[in-house]
């Protein structure tokens, strides 16, 4: 299942110093929030990882598979009601067997997730 346009929507995309930054809005009516957690919804970490993967695929123009995750630090809880808009920053570096991906999900100074891993073409 693709999360784009169900869980989040891309508002803008800009490139700065080789880093693509997606300004996204979380969609609080997504059914995921009814089960995670009813009355006090939070964004599941696995969905944040998938959101990074989808943004990475958009930057690379290729269908990708997560091969390894070297770092995934969930540093704060994000809710679609307390933080509706986020920046997903993605930096890609080609390596011998795919793309090294460094990503960050944040809102201003508040960082919600830091990610580093290897993605390969499907």
Model confidence over 57-86: pLDDT tens digits? 999 999 999 999 999 999 999 999 989 999
- Judge whether 22 and 13 are in contact, CB under 8 Å: yes
- DSSP secondary structure letter of residue 59: H
For the segment 6-31, what is each residue's pLDDT rounded down to a tens digit?
A: 999 999 999 999 999 999 999 999 99
CATH number of 8-121: 3.10.129.10
Quote the distance between the C-alpha of residue 36 and its chain's center: 18
Q: What is the mean pLDDT of the chain?
A: 95
Q: What is the pTM of this model?
A: 0.95
Between the alpha carbon of residue 83 and those of residues 4, 60, 64, 118, the distances in Å are 17, 28, 28, 28
Domain ranges across the chain: 8-121
pLDDT tens for each residue of 105-116:
999 899 999 999
pLDDT confidence of residue 35: 84
pLDDT band at 1 (very low <50, low <70, confident <90, very high): confident
Give the per-residue pLDDT at 76: 96
The helix/strand/coil state of 33 is: helix
CA distances from 97 to 18, 30, 83, 84, 85 (A): 20, 35, 36, 36, 34
């Amino acid at each position: 299942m693709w999360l784009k346009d169900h869980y989040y929507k891309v508002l803008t995309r800009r490139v700065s110093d080789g880093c693509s930054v997606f300004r996204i809005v979380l969609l609080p009516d997504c059914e995921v929030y009814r089960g995670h957690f009813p009355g006090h919804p939070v964004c599941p970490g696995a969905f944040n990882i998938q959101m990074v993967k989808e943004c990475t695929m958009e930057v690379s123009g290729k269908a990708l598979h997560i091969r390894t995750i070297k770092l995934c630090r969930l540093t704060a809880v994000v809710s679609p009601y307390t933080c509706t808009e986020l920046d997903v920053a993605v930096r890609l570096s080609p390596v011998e067997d795919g793309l090294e991906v460094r990503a960050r999900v944040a809102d201003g100074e508040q960082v919600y997730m830091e990610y580093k891993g290897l993605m390969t073409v499907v």
